């Protein structure tokens, strides 16, 4: 199968362009809405764009630009999920607190006032303002008109249609996981006919449609791209099959697949569940996983990024390189919104707002609950009470200090990529993994935390600061992509399907989890948890899978949808905590002052601390005090859209 043409994807001012040179004398090519509505020279798009091979390629690239990008990066029209002023769904989980009160989700979600009458920036994933329907229409425009485009070979036409189908499936899944069954549009139409009907399709119809699109595309596309650095972001067979696994995992989960619907009494609504528990749905997911991994075994092309040494920092670098590098061998699909992270400018606001080294912080602070999910570096579970009783809390992040340059990381290496912890050095070399620079001071009065943990604001609002996708100066001038789906997630989906399917092979499930753990130097799951009966207790193994997903896929949208698909009201309504750290002097007295720039010339680096877990209350989430109403599992459709009368039925409870 011929590989892709070498189309380098990059983004300028929020719009995708290609790096190809236009040598013919033509009008300036338009992008975005202007491009969709009117082609160069004033002719209608259909007559001009699809009468020119280069314009058609640009049209497809523009559709790529409508895909989901998971990090809020700037105020972008019609892409609310990427808007700093909305907020990520992960802020609603037990992993993070979101301390920016002016963000869209902070008010309606944290206060429990969200309703179907929401306006702009008020829903975690706006039904109308995320380029879903623009992408749907664009895909069908391309499919309906590509046969007439001159200058394209039949092979390229088939490839472009296949890529467009993948975009369509992914965009439907983006909205499906927030709303359940939505109307399936299978051709272009004007939408101006007052009598048109477009009712919600069932969960089953939505899932089958998305899977069909991906299967059709996978039959055409090459297994992988030829040059990852240049073609990163292009859909291929591996990405299509992987995405199918993710869709089938979501569909088979208890949100839609259970003996009762998620909302009491809504038994007659096929748009919100399958109508009962169907064990074969997990079997279908398992079969898709087997298809993916069988082909991976025969064709290769992807693998987990492995460490070049056995130090914790070597494993940390392997993990970082796996999710952050543009040419990572484990990223199956990615999207981009900028060329590089300028860091010191407003070019990329995710960094401007989130990094603890910046002057402002409107970001996501990891919780104590999240930090305690990460095992010790050998893979044995971290137990706060046991560690405290043994007098080892001072060792729970690292031993040694920056002055003596003898720091040894003591926990799961992924912890230091998800959260900034006390004593963590500010930089890590991308080639050697060596840590450098001063250490973060997150004790009360420390250089970085100051009084923030007591006010629960700014950096270290919880005693911890965010790290994932930030990385301080380490990220300066590097390309920033969103890893839509990584190979490590596929291993964990496969493990879950093995655990949940009717054949129920627990050992094979553990084997898949252990592949992910081994990449960061940890021993096997069963060996590290001998008291949990993981090979016979299905529920215990599922809990470990969800925990492992939280550690491996932090800030990658996994946790929120894991809690949704497993209907975990118990976790959504759980009071969360932060960590107060007090620096102690040689007499055991608290010293609320920084060491860097204050005591570093007169005394050794602090080595003794006092720790206190405390309840987070800025803000207090409505769910913590009033319980979790099951209506929150799916979002409300905008009332204005429901009231148009074309058949859109509101989700129950709203």
Q: Same structural domain for residues 451 and 584?
A: yes
CA within 13 Å, CB half, 574: 16
Average pLDDT, the chain: 90
- For residues 652 and 574, what is the distance between their CA atoms, to the nearest angstrom? 24
Q: If you average pLDDT over residues 410-428, what whole number do you get? A: 97
Query: For 285-299, what is each residue's pLDDT tens digit?
Result: 999 999 999 999 999
Over residues 550-559, the mean pLDDT reads 97
Do the domain assignments include residue 513? no
Do 267 and 184 lie in one domain? The reply is: yes
Q: Rounded to whole angstroms, how far apart are CA atoms 206 and 177?
A: 11
Half-sphere exposure of 445 (CA within 13 A, CB side): 13
Contacts with 558 (C-beta within 8 Å, 6 or more apart), sequence order = 489, 549, 550
Q: How far apart are CA 287 and CA 46, in angstroms?
A: 41
Residue 258 has a pLDDT of: 98
In a domain, 550, yes or no: no
343: confidence class by pLDDT, cuts 50, 70, 90: low
Amino acid 352: pLDDT:
82
**Domain region containing 384:** 355-479+577-615
Q: What is the mean pLDDT of residues 443-471?
A: 96
The pLDDT value given to residue 393: 98
Greater pLDDT, 7 or 73: 73
Q: What's the confidence (pLDDT) of residue 192?
A: 65
The better pLDDT of the pair 78, 482 is held by 482
- Residue 181 resides in a domain: yes
3-state helix, strand, coil in the chain (%, to 5): 40, 10, 50
CA 572, CA 110: separation in Å to the nearest integer?
11
- The verdict on 260 and 367 lying in the same domain is no
Q: Map 481-508 to HEC letters.
A: EEEEEEHHHHHHHHHHHHHHCCCCCHHH
- Is 88 within the bounds of a domain? no
Confidence class for position 101, pLDDT limits 50, 70, 90: confident
Instruction: Kindly tell me if the per-residue pLDDT of 38 is higher than 60.
Output: no
Choice among 237-251, 330-344, 505-519, 532-546 with the minimum mean pLDDT = 330-344
Average pLDDT of span 421-447: 97
Angle, CA 205 vertex, CA 261 and CA 201 arms, to 5° = 75
363 and 277 share one domain: no
CATH of the domain at 256: 1.25.40
Residue 634 lies in a domain: no
| Alpha carbon distance 49, 163 (integer Å) | 18
| DSSP secondary structure letter of residue 147 | G
Using alpha carbons, list the distances in angstroms from residue 380 to 508, 522, 524, 533. Answer: 20, 8, 9, 15
Helices (H) and strands (E) in the chain, counts: 24, 14
Asked if the structure places residue 335 within a domain, the reply is no
**Number of independent structural domains in the chain:** 2
How open is the CA angle 283-534-571, to the nearest 5 degrees?
A: 80
The reported pTM is 0.93
Last residue of a domain, one of 263, 281, 299: 281
The pLDDT of residue 345: 59
Last residue within a domain, chosen from 265, 281, 297: 281
Tell me: do 454 and 368 sit in the same domain. Answer: yes
Buried b (16+ CB within 10 A) or exposed e, 577-590: bbbbbbbbeeeeee
Residues 366 and 229 in one domain: no
For residue 576, the model assigns a pLDDT of 98
pLDDT at 472: 83
Residues 253 and 162 reside in one and the same domain: yes
Query: Does the pLDDT value for residue 571 go beyond 80?
Result: yes
Average pLDDT over residues 267-280: 98
- Compute the distance between CA of residue 525 and CA of residue 535 in angstroms, rounded to an integer: 10
Q: Identify whether residues 275 and 359 lie together within a single domain.
A: no
The whole-number pLDDT of residue 340 equals 75
Are residues 456 and 359 part of one domain? Answer: yes
Q: Are residues 383 and 272 in the same domain?
A: no
Average pLDDT (542-553) is: 98
State CA 85 to chain mean position distance.
18
Residue 471: inside a domain:
yes
Q: Give residue for tokens 């879903």.
A: 132
* In contact, 478 and 429? CB cutoff 8 Å: no
Q: Is it the case that residue 626 has pLDDT exceeding 80? A: yes
Report residue 346's pLDDT band, with 50, 70 and 90 as the boundaries: low
Which of 247, 281, 315 is the C-terminal boundary of a domain?
Answer: 281
Q: Is 445 helix (H, G, I), strand (E, B) or coil?
A: coil
- For helices 154-179 and 203-218, angle between their N-to-C axes, nearest 10 degrees: 150
Residue with tokens 């031993």: 399
Say yes or no to pLDDT of 164 above 80. yes
From the centroid of its chain, how far is CA 156?
31
265 and 404 together in one domain? no
Residue 115 lies in a domain: no
Alpha-carbon gap, residue 340 to 323, rounded angstroms: 16
pLDDT score of 321? 97
Distance of CA 590 to the CA centre of its chain: 39
Give me the phi and psi of 249, to 5 degrees please. -60, -45
- Residue 240 CA to residue 485 CA, distance in Å, equals 10
Domain match, 246 and 387 both: no
Which range is least confidently modeled, 64-68, 301-305, 397-401, 479-483? 479-483
- Residue 641's φ and ψ, nearest 5 degrees, are -75, -40
> Would you state the pLDDT for residue 358?
85
**Largest distance between two CA atoms of the chain:** 83
Which pLDDT score, from 0 to 100, does residue 341 have? 76
The predicted-structure confidence for 370-394, as pLDDT tens digits, reads as follows 999 999 999 999 999 999 999 999 9
Is pLDDT above 60 for 152?
yes
pLDDT band for position 436 (50/70/90)? very high
């Amino acid at each position: 199968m011929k590989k892709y043409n070498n189309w380098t994807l990059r983004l300028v001012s929020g719009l995708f362009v290609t790096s190809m040179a236009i040598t013919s004398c033509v009008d300036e090519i338009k992008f975005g809405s202007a491009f969709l509505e009117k082609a160069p020279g004033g002719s209608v798009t259909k007559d001009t764009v699809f009468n020119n091979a280069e314009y058609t390629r640009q049209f497809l690239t523009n559709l790529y630009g409508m895909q989901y990008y998971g990090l809020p990066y700037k105020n972008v029209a019609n892409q609310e999920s990427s808007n700093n002023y909305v907020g990520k769904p992960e802020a609603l989980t037990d992993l993070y607190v979101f301390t920016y009160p002016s963000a869209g989700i902070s008010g309606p979600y944290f206060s429990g006032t969200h309703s179907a009458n929401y306006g702009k920036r008020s829903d975690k994933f706006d039904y109308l303002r995320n380029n879903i329907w623009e992408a749907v229409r664009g895909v069908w425009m391309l499919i309906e008109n590509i046969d007439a485009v001159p200058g394209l070979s039949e092979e390229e036409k088939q490839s472009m249609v296949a890529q467009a189908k993948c975009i369509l499936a992914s965009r439907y899944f983006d909205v499906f996981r927030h709303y359940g069954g939505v109307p399936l549009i299978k051709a272009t139409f004007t939408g101006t006919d007052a009598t048109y009907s477009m009712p919600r399709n069932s969960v089953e119809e939505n899932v089958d449609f998305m899977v069909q699109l991906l299967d059709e595309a996978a039959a055409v596309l090459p297994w992988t791209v030829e040059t990852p650095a240049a073609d990163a972001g292009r859909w291929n067979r591996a990405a299509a099959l992987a995405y199918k696994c993710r869709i089938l995992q979501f569909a088979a989960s208890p949100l839609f697949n259970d003996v009762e619907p998620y909302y009491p009494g809504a038994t007659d609504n096929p748009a919100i569940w399958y109508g009962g528990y169907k064990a074969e749905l997990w079997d279908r997911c398992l079969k898709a996983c087997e298809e993916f991994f069988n082909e991976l075994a025969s064709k290769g092309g992807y693998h987990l990024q492995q460490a070049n040494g056995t130090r914790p920092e070597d494993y940390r670098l392997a993990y970082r390189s796996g999710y952050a590098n543009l040419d990572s061998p484990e990223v199956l699909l990615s999207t981009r919104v900028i060329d590089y992270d300028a860091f010191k400018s407003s070019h990329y606001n995710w960094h401007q707002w989130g990094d603890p080294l910046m002057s402002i912080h409107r970001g996501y602070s990891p919780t104590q609950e999240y930090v305690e999910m990460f095992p010790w570096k050998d893979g044995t579970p971290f137990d706060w009470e046991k560690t405290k009783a043994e007098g080892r809390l001072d060792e729970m992040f690292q031993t040694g200090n920056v002055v003596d340059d003898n720091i040894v990381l003591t926990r799961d290496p992924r912890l230091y990529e998800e959260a900034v912890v006390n004593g963590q050095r500010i930089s890590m070399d991308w080639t050697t993994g060596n840590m450098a620079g001063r250490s973060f001071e997150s004790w009360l009065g420390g250089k970085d935390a100051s009084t923030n943990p007591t006010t629960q604001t700014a950096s270290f609002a919880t005693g911890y600061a965010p790290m994932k996708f930030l990385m301080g100066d380490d990220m300066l001038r590097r390309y920033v992509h969103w890893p839509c789906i990584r190979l490590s997630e596929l291993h964990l989906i496969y493990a879950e399907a093995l655990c949940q399917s009717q054949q129920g092979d627990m050992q094979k499930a553990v084997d898949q989890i252990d592949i992910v753990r081994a990449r960061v130097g940890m021993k096997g799951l069963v060996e590290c948890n001998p008291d949990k009966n993981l090979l016979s207790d299905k529920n215990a193994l599922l809990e470990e899978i969800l925990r492992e997903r939280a550690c491996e896929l932090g800030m990658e949208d996994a946790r929120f949808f894991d809690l949704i698909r497993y209907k975990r009201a118990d976790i959504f309504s759980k009071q969360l905590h932060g960590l107060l750290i007090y620096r102690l002097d040689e007499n055991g007295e608290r010293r609320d002052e920084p060491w860097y720039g204050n005591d570093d010339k007169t005394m050794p680096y602090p080595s003794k601390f006092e720790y206190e877990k405390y309840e987070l209350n800025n803000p207090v989430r409505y769910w913590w005090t009033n319980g979790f109403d099951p209506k929150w599992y799916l979002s409300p459709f905008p009332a204005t859209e429901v009231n148009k009368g074309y058949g859109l039925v509101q989700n129950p409870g709203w």
